[in-house]
Structure 1
Amino acid sequence: MPADPQVPDGDRTRTRRRWGAVAALVAGALALAGCTSPKNQSDASERPQITHDVPAELSRFYEQQVEWTECGDLECATVEVPLDWEDPEGDVITLAVNRSTATGSDVIGSLLTNPGGPGGSGVEALEGIVMERVGKEIAERYDIVGFDPRGVAGSQPVECVDGEQMDEIVSADPDYSTEAGVQEAEDRFGALGEACLQNTGELLEHVDTVSAARDMDVLRAVLGDETLTYLGYSYGTQLGATYAALYPEKVGRMVLDGALDPTLSADELAQGQAVGFESALRAYVEDCRTGASCPLTGSVEDGMAQVKKVLDRARRNPIPTDDPDRPLTGSLAFSGIAQSLYAPDLWPWLTRGLQGALANDGSTLLFLADFYYDRQDDGTYASNSTEAFWAINCADDRSPSDLESMKASAAQIEAAAPTIGYYFSYGGVVCAQWPVPEAGGLDSYAAEGAAPILVIGTTNDPATPYAWAESLSALLSSGVLLTYEGEGHTAYGRSNECVDDAVDTYLLTGEAPADGTRC
């Protein structure tokens, strides 16, 4: 599910957002483009592959020789995995992998990372994770590894539509008040699914999270690690929890930050996230009212009503922007607002966006929505993250698509999140006509016998509500809950020293903080 808010037309939770979102928008961040990470020092290639206890039909994957090449200050490679894990002797696909090798000599092993999504590129995110998130000693003692899960970016990708068609989908404002409007939304995503199948082929049926977690065990082996040490953010927590359930005896030191509960239904996830974004928006409004430039007036409730008025107005009559061909629709306005709620550092951008929208200029909110979707100035999209997001979610779980069920769910969501709940409703339309069957998840995520797994939750996380961290840590037989009392999405590397020290100690020594520790 998605680092992040749901797409405006509805789907499962969107817990993905391109890594480095905060860094790319706050002052001085663009200067990072000219920075380089320390020159790699360890010879990671000397560690042997771990291939024992592998079924014969999988040996060609676990025993493959990976060739690493220099790509800037990192190393890059491709790794082969089965297209269909139920038919490992059939076709193969390739995964894009990169790594920043340990800068010290006392190397513990590899730290596999995932930035979230589904649809986020771990290869693209790696440099930001190394430079901005992990502690210095972590970078000294681990080869930090990024990878693009199946269907994503540099791995065998999901491919669907061109930029113009994507613009139409993400900007559409469906009318869910009529049966015809709901049908129109279903048909729109049905056409998208057919395009995905035509352009992606058989892979579209095999982009589920369980298959991606199995791929991670091949990565563990070819990297030369007996157990998997892993840092997963947002959707990456679902990926990590799935790995732990499949291979509990191979779990090493695992950090799941911004947790998802993989046992919740798509509708439960949508409602939880709607409430999460509503709460984050309320925190923003409370903060905004203390600033001289805040465009919202009156009480907090008055401010929430004014935000809703912007959304409702954009849906009825799109707001002009500096691009005469691209007015700000309600869906785009919501995406821009949601993008700004991922961290308090982004709240000034929301203030600018609301200032403009209230003055009949939607340009800033459109800019934020474009950033959210990886849309470039020339109308193309820099990644397939949104297409992969839809495809992976439809592979994992689907909301009921019958009209009465969607109406009932929408009523619950909008009652719980009256300002923005509309944009989390009618999620069943996305997968109603998806052209390949649902793969589903696992029967149990207890991961009995696994080493301690560190689960981190932020108390007012918009995209992955704190309650999900509580439930995931209880669901995992060895789950340990670490709480960050604050705002924003995820915690490690962006919150405070208490969280960072606890995670660094765990990754360096294996000693987890006491269950229930609060920072």
Structure 2
Amino acid sequence: MRAARFISAATVLALAMVTGCSDGDGDGENKTTSSTSVPSGLESFYGQKLSWKGCDKGFECATVQVPLNYAEPSGDKVGISVIRLRAEDGSRRIGSLLTNPGGPGGSGVDFVRQAARTFGSDLRRRFDIVGFDPRGVAASDPVRCNTGPQLDEFFATDASPDDPKETKTLAARSRAFAERCKTKAASELPYVGTAHAARDMDILRAALGDDKLTYYGASYGTYLGADYAEQFPGNVRALVLDGAVDPSLSSTELLVEQAKGFETALRAFADNCVKSGNCPFGNSADAVVAKISSFLAAVDKKPLTSNRDQRKVTESLAVMGIARSLYVKEYWPVLRQALTQAMQNSDGTILLALADEMVERKPNGTYSNQTDANMAVNCIDKPNPSDLAAYKRYADQAEKVAPRFGPFVVWGGLPCVYWPYQTKQEPKPFTAKGAAPIVVIGTIRDPATPYKWAQKLAGQLSSGVLLTFNGDGHTAYLQGNPCITKATDDYLITTDPPKDGTTCG
């Protein structure tokens, strides 16, 4: 959604589930392993020893140094912020479980702080649960381009333009976003892409003392994990890719398909509302969806007010608030309340709060760097349409197949057209030939990473195994389904995957 593509809701879900520190290095850690080769020129990075320090509530933190540009490893460096929760049973410890919650732009350090203790009990006993902020994110030399007021303006801009004037305004603000990044982060932008972050993960694997990588990635984290497997297939021990991204799609194809995923989730919400009884928006799923469409059209003409602050709740912010609720099924009652408040009283307070949560806007009007990092990674990872006219064709296509979400999702990536650094590397499937079995989890009605992406990724990977969750919400593992938990935990511990095509739900 709008400069927040592939944002994972895993952290929020973990928070919904959540009802003395030590210093120094652990036994058998911080050594360069002998079973995997070290790329020439990178010996000092692979051989570094981590200095762990207690960082509250049983967690330990450290920093891993990686090259800014792998083509010039003796040049500038980036400090990658890392956190771990030690394995509960040190005598039976297998190694580290590296994790990434998605984004791009999501803080893996924050994710582990909030979610580590919600992982399966067997995993917590046998693995250190490890998170990291990828380069350009949060505490790892963050990309910062925009002020709070600038992002407020960007997100409030009409992202379903109805006429040339609105399109011109959207284009101008998207171009300004890109130009600010060029001015403020020019030295970082060429090197924040997923391919570099995946190489960082291999250095991190070695610094953690693991011969091979054990990994859990959600949402965009599946793309990062699949890229790692493509580059380092022989270093894969066990990878779980939950809420998969299809690497073979173009940047705009991903957005169009994602918009369709949100339409599917909205209809699931509507059906649930009707079946739960006394649905205030209609007596059928079709009626509920039509009511929401009419509501958004009205907001486009007259924004809502809010008690949260002085901002007007535009159609774009209202759509963002709705989308935020669709990431997590537990939010559906909140969405029902938010829409009721907005439709009956023209009060967008709850919708605005949801939209702010989506893009990590704080009550004081400042933002995390999630949005800036998200755009920086997405814009450099894949080629983008050459101009506004070419981009508009994809937005028009999205509106036809996803009338409520299509324009907002696709137009949200418009700054990439004006991005100062472009790649010529065309999208391609990741096969990771020679890798150990890799488990790909897909949720049938996932709003942000459609189920067919999991099917596609599992099929592309030479050792891919598909595990299906017949449910709602974005990603599956942290939803607490016993079948998903057991299949995932057993695989990560033993490296024996579930039977390909297994369905839970």
TM over 0.5: yes
Q: Is the 8 A contact 1:270 1:424 kept in 2?
A: yes
- 3-state SS, counterpart of residue 239 of structure 2: strand
1:451 aligned residue: 436
CA distance in 2, matches of 1:329, 1:44: 55
1:85 aligned residue: 70
1:103 paired with 2:94, answer no
Aligned residues: 500
> Would the alpha carbon gap of residues 197 and 175 (structure 1) be closer, same or farther in structure 2, given more than 3 Å must change?
same
> Would the alpha carbon gap of residues 197 and 471 (structure 1) be closer, same or farther in structure 2, given more than 3 Å must change?
same
> Would the alpha carbon gap of residues 18 and 273 (structure 1) be closer, same or farther in structure 2, given more than 3 Å must change?
closer
Moved more, 509-518 or 397-406: 397-406
CA distance in 1, matches of 2:444, 2:503: 10
CA distance in 1, matches of 2:253, 2:418: 21
Q: Is the 8 A contact 2:236 2:435 kept in 1?
A: yes
Q: For 1:395-406, what aligned pairs fall within 5 Å after superposition? A: 395-406=380-391
Q: Which runs of 5+ in 2 are unaligned?
A: none
2:503 aligned residue: 518
For residue 147 of structure 1, the aligned residue among 115, 132, 153 is 132
1:53 aligned residue: 37
> Would the alpha carbon gap of residues 342 and 135 (structure 1) be closer, same or farther in structure 2, given more than 3 Å must change?
same
| CA apart distance, 1:169 | 0.8
2:270 aligned residue: 285
> Would the alpha carbon gap of residues 83 and 148 (structure 1) be closer, same or farther in structure 2, given more than 3 Å must change?
same
1:366 paired with 2:352, answer yes
| CA apart distance, 1:120 | 0.4
| CA apart distance, 1:44 | 4.6
2:13 aligned residue: 22
| CA apart distance, 1:107 | 0.8
- 3-state SS, counterpart of residue 488 of structure 2: helix
Moved more, 466-475 or 171-180: 171-180
| CA apart distance, 1:86 | 1.7
1:206 paired with 2:191, answer yes
Q: For 1:57-136, what aligned pairs fall within 5 Å after superposition? A: 57-72=41-56, 73-104=58-89, 105-132=91-118, 134-136=119-121
CA distance in 2, matches of 1:507, 1:323: 44
Moved more, 313-322 or 170-179: 170-179
- 3-state SS, counterpart of residue 43 of structure 1: coil
Q: Is the 8 A contact 1:41 1:103 kept in 2?
A: no
- 3-state SS, counterpart of residue 198 of structure 1: helix
Q: Is the 8 A contact 2:434 2:462 kept in 1?
A: yes
| CA apart distance, 1:346 | 0.7
CA distance in 1, matches of 2:14, 2:46: 37
- 3-state SS, counterpart of residue 352 of structure 2: helix
For residue 307 of structure 1, the aligned residue among 283, 288, 292 is 292
CA distance in 2, matches of 1:44, 1:496: 34
CA deviations on 1:254-286 (whole Å, 9 max, x unpaired) are 000000011111121112111111011001011
2:455 aligned residue: 470
CA distance in 2, matches of 1:270, 1:214: 26
Q: Is the 8 A contact 1:190 1:433 kept in 2?
A: yes
Q: Report the residue type matching 1:229 in the other structure.
A: T
> Would the alpha carbon gap of residues 350 and 175 (structure 1) be closer, same or farther in structure 2, given more than 3 Å must change?
closer
| CA apart distance, 1:193 | 2.0
> Would the alpha carbon gap of residues 128 and 39 (structure 1) be closer, same or farther in structure 2, given more than 3 Å must change?
farther
CA distance in 2, matches of 1:202, 1:148: 19
| CA apart distance, 1:392 | 0.6
Q: For 1:348-363, what aligned pairs fall within 5 Å after superposition? A: 348-359=333-344, 360-363=346-349
CA deviations on 1:40-84 (whole Å, 9 max, x unpaired) are 999356463226632341111111121111101111000110101
Q: For 1:178-193, what aligned pairs fall within 5 Å after superposition? A: 178-193=163-178
> Would the alpha carbon gap of residues 156 and 18 (structure 1) be closer, same or farther in structure 2, given more than 3 Å must change?
farther
Taking only the aligned residue pairs, the percentage that are identical comes to 44
Q: Is the 8 A contact 1:305 1:419 kept in 2?
A: no
Q: For 1:296-445, what aligned pairs fall within 5 Å after superposition? A: 296-323=281-308, 325-359=310-344, 360-381=346-367, 383-426=368-411, 429-438=414-423, 440=425, 443-445=428-430
Q: TM-score, normalising length from structure 1?
A: 0.91
- 3-state SS, counterpart of residue 130 of structure 2: strand
| CA apart distance, 1:442 | 6.5
Q: Is the 8 A contact 2:29 2:208 kept in 1?
A: no
Q: Is the 8 A contact 2:382 2:427 kept in 1?
A: no
Q: For 1:200-239, what aligned pairs fall within 5 Å after superposition? A: 200-239=185-224
Moved more, 174-183 or 315-324: 174-183
> Would the alpha carbon gap of residues 347 and 18 (structure 1) be closer, same or farther in structure 2, given more than 3 Å must change?
closer
1:171 paired with 2:156, answer yes
Q: Is the 8 A contact 2:24 2:52 kept in 1?
A: no
1:43 paired with 2:29, answer no
Alpha-carbon RMSD across the aligned residues, in angstroms, is 2.2
CA distance in 1, matches of 2:301, 2:386: 25
> Would the alpha carbon gap of residues 420 and 47 (structure 1) be closer, same or farther in structure 2, given more than 3 Å must change?
closer
| CA apart distance, 1:313 | 1.8
CA distance in 1, matches of 2:467, 2:197: 26
| CA apart distance, 1:411 | 3.1
CA distance in 2, matches of 1:212, 1:442: 17
CA distance in 1, matches of 2:416, 2:450: 24
- 3-state SS, counterpart of residue 493 of structure 1: helix
| CA apart distance, 1:17 | 3.5
Q: TM-score, normalising length from structure 2?
A: 0.94
Q: Report the residue type matching 1:62 in the other structure.
A: Y
- 3-state SS, counterpart of residue 290 of structure 1: helix
Q: Report the residue type matching 2:71 in the other structure.
A: E
Q: Is the 8 A contact 1:115 1:233 kept in 2?
A: yes
